[in-house]
Amino acid sequence: MSTIEAVRNKLDQPVAMGYCNVGEVLAVGVGVSGFAPGDRVASNGKHAEVVVVPANLCAKLPDGVEDEAAAFTVVGAIALQGIRLAQPTLGECVAVVGMGLIGLVTTQLLRANGCRVLGIDFDGAKLALAREFGADTVDLSRGEDPVAAGLGAFSRGRGVDAVIVTAATQSNEPMHQAARMCRKRGRIVLVGVTGLELSRADFFEKELSFQVSCSYGPGRYDPEYEEKGHDYPVGFVRWTEQRNFEAVLDMLAAGRLDVGRLVSHRFPIEAAGNAYALLGADEPSLGILLTYPTASEQPDPELRRATVHVSATPGQALPGVPVLGLIGAGNYATSVLIPAFKATGAQIKSVTSAQGVSSLHAARKFGIEAATTDVGAVMSDKDVTAVVITTRHDSHARFVLAALERGKHVFVEKPLCLTLDELEAIEEAHRAKLDAGQVPVVMVGFNRRFAPQVRKMKDLLGGVFGAKAFVMTVNAGAIPLTHWTQDPAVGGGRIVGEVCHFIDLLRFLAGSPITGWQRSAMSVATGDTVTLQLAFADGSMGTVHYLSNGSKAFPKERLEVFCAGRVLQLDNFRRLRGYGWPGFGKMNLWRQDKGQRACAAAFVHAIQAGGPGPIPFDELLEVGRVSILAQQAAN
């Protein structure tokens, strides 16, 4: 059931649609050069009136290039990257399989490069356009043979020099035909999607080369390039995503690329649903443009509005009921935390996300009053008594400090922060509030200590005197080193981002301060297969085995406690067994319960009671400090 719920929640998350935006720059971020407010730009981005786009995914529009034409920049860059991989030279003959939007752009760019083009498709109307752009054509709907055409007069009997496949099909036939029509040592580049059950004989006899093109060009899916703005040196990577954008815009400016005839429909953004309904419908379509209100139709203050009120009538906070503002509306927030806090009876007034799509979806789904992209508005809202932070890890400390400065209670998903300096700043901010007579509740989402079976373990251990030995085995699974959680500056790494959960769990069960720790790890290549040994002031010891190299068939989490001739074993928060415990043998649950709802309820209750947080603040600092130091040892 937990797996089914996770899948449903993931599928329920909205996906922002869109390929390319054209408009004016409203503002530029810190450190961005080469762009200024008022510049006309084309960018990779979602369909929206206002988008935030990395600088490396923007390109200025040359004078004379209209907005409608520039909207094809990203599609053109996809076609151009496929051409660059095919490496055509002047006079070569190239077959383009699939005369859709990208195929027709590919045809024009190849013609501009001095190549002869053979366009192949089932659609006569698209083939007619290809012929207008100077291509020879093969109409598959009429039974014409693309292999015979490629090997015949078009190539002077030699076979085509290259084939660029821009079709979308599960069939293997396009690749088979591409290989057969190529000359010896010809090149095949896949831009679209086809079946890839390749015949060795097709490629072996002619020594063909085959390559798959990745979107717009070098930099695509590289967070260092796209998100952090680190450009590749032009002397080593001549054509990046951004430089491909610029090249397409130059072709538009020179009149060598005609996209006007590729536009089949235009819709105002309010009718975007009708535009998407065309895709796959009986009515033929090609390039579909969405238009937005002009400056006179959409005044600037309205354009810059960051908050959408979902409820027509704002709710009134009930006496004694905490009012929450959520910062972050990702999958965990919407699938776990929001339902957990709703169940406590607390009022959630607003939800924030960086792009606005996920926060608006969450607000509508859960009946939250407002969705916003403005964190400052949530922090300054006098009605909001507590802030719940579920953003990426590098923003946690900043938001915690801002909330404390505003006199708000704080619930932050683990980790509390990423560095010792941030930890010290949070400690000082908390102490300042205490000195001023305020008691802010600061809590990290260490939910496992609130799980019912863990609470049972705590009760059982309370009657045992003497040291205890804890063994926590976490079959965590591998996460690519390129994932944001592995980035020391953004996610902090898996020790500070995830192992902190289990350090806190053992700290809770031990009931004694951590006095020392040791870390050992496998090779640097694995990065996140580690063992952490903890020593506690009462003589207890704990070991956390956090493993990324195991099988998914094995349970994810197992906790074992050895003490006083007895053993407790907790498997995956479903089955708890006791060995040698008088009066206790087992405690099994129908479904996994890691304590998320109880954790949220404890936070809300602490606010209502007016006392300290459910987890002592000193313990939060202690667990945070050990996690950070252990992560630093890994780095």
Give pLDDT, residue 524. 55
Question: Helix (H, G, I), strand (E, B), or coil: what is residue 252?
Answer: helix
CB count in 10 Å sphere of residue 410:
25
Distance from C-alpha of 317 to C-alpha of 324, rounded to nearest angstrom:
10
| Structural tokens at position 375 | 């964190």
Residues 6+ apart with CB under 8 A from 458: 508, 509, 511
Bridge pairing between strands 136-139 and 116-121? parallel
List, for residues 86-109, the tens digit of each pLDDT value.
999 999 999 999 999 999 999 999
| pLDDT reported for residue 517 | 96
3-class SS of residue 210: strand
Q: How far apart are CA 508 and CA 615, in angstroms?
A: 9
Which residues of the chain have a pLDDT value below 50? 525-526
Which H or E element spans position 189?
strand 182-190
Confidence at residue 460, expressed as pLDDT on a 0 to 100 scale? 96
- How is residue 26 written in tokens? 């409203």
What pLDDT is attached to residue 9? 76
**Distance of alpha carbon 265 from alpha carbon 48, whole angstroms:** 18
Q: Which has the closest alpha carbon to 361: 3, 4, 10?
A: 10
Query: How many Å apart are CA 366 and CA 255, to the nearest integer?
Result: 51
Cβ contacts of residue 347 below 8 Å, gap of 6+?
Answer: 315, 317, 318, 321, 322, 323, 324
Count other C-beta atoms under 10 Å from residue 369's C-beta.
Answer: 20
Return d(Cα 574, Cα 578) in angstroms, integer: 14
- Pairing mode, if any, of strands 386-389 and 557-563? unpaired
pLDDT the model gives residue 525: 46
Which residues have CB under 8 Å from 552's CB, separation 6+? 475, 477
d(CA 241, CA 219): 6
Is residue 385 within 8 Å of 607, Cβ to Cβ?
Answer: yes
CA pair distance 361, 368, nearest whole angstrom: 10
* Distances, alpha carbon 544 to alpha carbons 413, 486, 564, 622, in Å: 21, 19, 21, 16
**What's the pLDDT score for residue 304?**
80
CA–CA separation, 99 and 108 (whole Å): 11
State how beta strands 307-309 and 530-536 pair.
unpaired
Q: Is 285 exposed, middle or buried (0-12, 13-18, 19+ CB in 10 A)?
A: middle
CA distance 187 to 93: 11
Spatial distance between the Cα atoms of 383 and 458, rounded to a whole number of angstroms: 37
Element (DSSP H or E) covering residue 475: strand 469-475
Residue 303: predicted pLDDT = 79
Half-sphere exposure at residue 338, Cβ-oriented, CA atoms within 13 angstroms: 27
Reference 58, options 75, 34, 37, 38; nearest CA is 34
Domains annotated on the chain, with CATH: 14-71+238-254 (3.90.180.10), 75-213 (3.40.50.720), 320-444 (3.40.50.720), 447-592+610-634 (3.30.360.10)
Exposure of 594 by Cβ count < 10 A (0-12 exposed, 13-18 middle, 19+ buried)?
buried
* Omega of the bond leading into 299 within 30 degrees of 0 (cis): no
Closest CA to 54 of 75, 29, 76: 29
Q: How many CA atoms lie within 13 A of 505 on its CB side?
A: 33
Phi, psi of 587, deg, nearest 5? -145, 105
Q: Which residues fall within 8 angstroms of residue 614, CB to CB, at 6 or more apart?
A: 443, 450, 599, 602, 603, 605, 606
> Residue 123 has what DSSP assignment?
-
Number of CB atoms found within 10 A of residue 548's CB = 17
Report d(CA 349, CA 318) in Å as an integer: 12
Best CA proximity match to 175, nearest among 140, 127, 210, 126: 210
Which helix (DSSP H) or strand (DSSP E) does residue 387 occupy? Answer: strand 386-389
Q: How far apart are CA 354 and CA 110, in angstroms?
A: 40
pLDDT for 315: 53
Provide the token pair at 364. Answer: 């509508």
3-state secondary structure 520-536: EECCCCCCCCEEEEEEE
Encoded tokens for 216: 């717009």
